[in-house]
A and B are shown apart, each in its own frame.
Chain A
Amino acid sequence: MNRFKAIFERDLRKFIRNPLVVAMSVLMPVIYLVILGNSFQGELKRLPVAVVDQDNGPGAEGVMERLSALEAGPRTVEVIKVSSQGFAMEGLREGVFKGVVIIPPGFSRDLARGSLAEIGLFLDNAETIAAATVQSAIARAVSEPGMEFVGIREERAGARLRPIEIYRKIDYDQTLIPGVVIMAIFLGAMTTGAFNIVMDRFLGVEESYFLTPLTKSDIVVGLVASGLLITTIIAVVVLFFSSLISGIYLWRLLTVDGFLLMLAVIVLSTLGLQGLMFVIMGRLNHPRIVGILGGFMNVIFFFPSGAIYPTESFPAWLKAFAVVNPETYSVHALRALMFKGAGFGAVKGDMAFLAVFAVLAVIAGTAAFKREL
């Protein structure tokens, strides 16, 4: 315990002696937010949309046909027929659906009468891009010419889409915050913990540590712990500042429970990445290799995480990777906690995955570490 604490303390001291690293670890993710928030556009595909048909009339059937055409043609959405509105809304909240189309009772009747026939569209506006895409695709589909039952006679009588955003208004900048926090965690995990081993090895300092009674797990756990503390602090600071610059006042938005849950997600995500870094970098001995690997891994983990594009739009092989990518679960959980006011129930699956991943990664990292020259 004493030995482990000594390693822990040594690492913290070394870290704070390098204020530039501290500043950059915080600044860079926040700058990412600004850059990313302003530079991403593009078409999304296969967004799952639930359709609840409460009308069961010919009008609804027509809408369903249009949506199926949309699914078969440009493949923007994937239509899932759902019978219960409650189930559909829950799916939306959990991020399973990116939108819910409700065809209300009497839709066919209104359409036949030529009065205003409305379809309800619920959007997951915690993911701005996906929400916007779903909205415009469905709007295009239901108002397309050739829909006989949409008011050719009178413009006013067309089926009109009334989007209802289920959460408070969220800007695109803001929806990126979970991704930015994850990026901060990644950068933190990459520049603390295992990286110290690489540096020590490179500088030849490790030799004198290996000469002492330190065990493998003293070294690995000590470094993981100090990296965990540093990275968690950085992530929380990044969360705070990136929220602030995109106009969110976290202290108003979050309950204490919500914040603690977010903290738990951050800690678990960090731990998993720290362990993973030991697996990957534990035997490297040149910081340049870490530089190359770090840039590569950041992209590899970040973009398939759903932080920017919904994972549903990925081709199957990338989707498969997203399923095992810990950052996917972190992003999902942070987004739910931050914007949807979700409780433990909504994120417990994510947390379970992150916890299992963390434990396995730290064990594998310790096993991979070579306490020898």
Chain B
Amino acid sequence: MYAIETENLVKKYGRLTALDGVTLNIPEGDCFGLLGPNGAGKTTLIRILTTLIRPTSGMAKVAGFDVLKEKAGVRSAIGVVPQAMTSDLDLTGLEIMDIYARFYGMGKKERRERTDELLSMVGLRERAGDLIATYSGGMRRRLEIARGLVHRPSILILDEPTIGLDPQSRRVVWELLEKFRKGDNLTILLTTHYMEEAEYLSDHVAIIDYGRIVALDTVEGLKKAIPQKDTMELTVSNIDMAKAREAVSAHQSVGSVAVNEGTLIISVDNGANAIPELVDKLRAMNAKVTRVTLKEQTLEDVFIHFTGRPIREEEARKVSFLLGAGVPRQWGK
């Protein structure tokens, strides 16, 4: 059975098509990363899956429940960490956890135990009695993750869980997610526009752009599917460059080789493994290798390949200059 399945989901906002026929199947226990630039439709998809908005057309099932017809079922099966920070600042961490646990009808003892366990796991036990207004961004994220898990959901959905966090806090969140995942056999769906995050956490990655899924595979599979390889640069001396080029090209994982004065620019599969072999080979020809650099193929290359642009190309959000920020979503455009 799939934890999440969607079929041809479409969501239109007036003339804008935010989701343009999304079909996904996420198996149980999977960690699924949804990678996309700003405005790709990630949040829109998540909001449909979590019953917050209705699709214009199409079907979606979460934990076997239809998001339109069995909302209550969906809501008790999922834990969600929305993109925006959504904890009331004028409550304490403990209060938030307890209130949410009550929304799911948990008894007093169970609530206390679960809250305690989760707050310790996310490292907030000492600060549990403080107002959330006094938490740092990373602490608030961790609290929201704990909040999302309070009722032991089978599916955890996170919308950009590490946005705005420094690299250290980001890593803490990743490790937390790993830990929870192993413990509870969770299915995780997360959106991100951090490559490392998708790469580190996800079993499967889907790239979404302009409301369409443009690629879907494991991280490895995605990398294999594109022609770009690792790029190695070897600076050598004491050897005829034509001969050096010939020797390097003979290696089985090497694709094309270009020469730029004393430097060989090599397109290579699995470059890290090829370095020692290539260096040995050149040394055996009495060459001196003075410098090696390797630019490994990343998910970013995959992304550029499928979308035609790097992911960090952010479009400035247009806000009506008359109304300013903080006006109703419908008006602010």
Residues of B close to A211: CB separation below 8 A: 50-52, 75, 78, 80, 82
Partner of A14, one of B50, B54, B76, B91: B91
Residues of B close to A2: CB separation below 8 A: 102, 105
Given the interface pairs A202-B326, A211-B50, A372-B54, the reply to whether A14 lies near B99 with Cβ below 8 Å is: no
Cβ of B100 under 8 Å from chain A: yes
- Could you tell me the distance between the alpha carbons of A209 and B51 in the complex, rounded to whole angstroms? 12
Report whether B100 and A14 are in contact in the complex, using a CB–CB cutoff of 8 Å. no
Cβ of A41 under 8 Å from chain B: no
Report whether A207 and B82 are in contact in the complex, using a CB–CB cutoff of 8 Å. yes
Report whether B80 and A10 are in contact in the complex, using a CB–CB cutoff of 8 Å. no
Residues of B close to A38: CB separation below 8 A: none
Within 8 A of B (CB), among A265-305: 285-286
Residues 218-259 of chain B, each 1 if its beta carbon lies under 8 Å from chain A, else 0: 000000000000000000000000000000000000000000
Given the interface pairs A2-B105, A212-B103, the reply to whether A286 lies near B326 with Cβ below 8 Å is: yes
Residues of A close to B87: CB separation below 8 A: 205, 208
Report whether A204 and B86 are in contact in the complex, using a CB–CB cutoff of 8 Å. yes
Report whether B47 and A373 are in contact in the complex, using a CB–CB cutoff of 8 Å. yes
**Closest chain B CB from A181 CB (angstroms):** 28
Residues of B close to A286: CB separation below 8 A: 326-328
* Residue in B closest to A6 when the chains form the complex, CB atoms: B102
Within 8 A of B (CB), among A315-373: 372-373
Within 8 A of A (CB), among B26-76: 47, 50-54, 72, 75-76
* Residue in A closest to B95 when the chains form the complex, CB atoms: A13
Report whether A205 and B53 are in contact in the complex, using a CB–CB cutoff of 8 Å. no
Most-contacted residue by chain A among B76, B99, B105 (CB, 10 A):
B99
Report whether B84 and A373 are in contact in the complex, using a CB–CB cutoff of 8 Å. no
Residues 194-226 of chain A, each 1 if its beta carbon lies under 8 Å from chain B, else 0: 000000001011011111111000000000000
Report whether A6 and B99 are in contact in the complex, using a CB–CB cutoff of 8 Å. yes
Report whether B105 and A212 are in contact in the complex, using a CB–CB cutoff of 8 Å. no
Cβ of B104 under 8 Å from chain A: yes
Given the interface pairs A13-B91, A212-B104, A213-B75, the reply to whether A205 lies near B328 with Cβ below 8 Å is: no
**Closest chain B CB from A135 CB (angstroms):** 54
**Closest chain A CB from B128 CB (angstroms):** 15
Report whether B90 and A17 are in contact in the complex, using a CB–CB cutoff of 8 Å. yes
Report whether B75 and A10 are in contact in the complex, using a CB–CB cutoff of 8 Å. no
Cβ of A110 under 8 Å from chain B: no
Within 8 A of B (CB), among A205-253: 205, 207-214
Cβ of A5 under 8 Å from chain B: yes
**Closest chain A CB from B300 CB (angstroms):** 30
Cβ of B88 under 8 Å from chain A: yes
**Closest chain A CB from B275 CB (angstroms):** 49
Residues of B close to A212: CB separation below 8 A: 75, 100, 103-104
Cβ of A136 under 8 Å from chain B: no
Closest 6 CB pairs of A and B: A6-B102, A208-B86, A212-B103, A204-B84, A17-B90, A211-B80
Ordered by A's residue number, 14 sampled pairs between the chains whose C-beta atoms are within 8 Å are A2-B102, A3-B102, A10-B95, A14-B90, A14-B91, A17-B131, A207-B52, A208-B80, A211-B52, A211-B78, A212-B104, A213-B72, A213-B75, A373-B53
**Chain A residues engaging chain B, CB cutoff 8 angstroms:** 2-3, 5-6, 9-10, 13-14, 17-18, 202, 204-205, 207-214, 285-286, 372-373
17 more CB-based (< 8 A) A-B contacts, given A10-B95, A285-B329, A373-B47? A3-B105, A5-B102, A6-B99, A6-B103, A13-B90, A13-B95, A14-B88, A205-B87, A207-B52, A207-B84, A212-B100, A212-B103, A212-B104, A213-B76, A285-B328, A286-B326, A372-B54
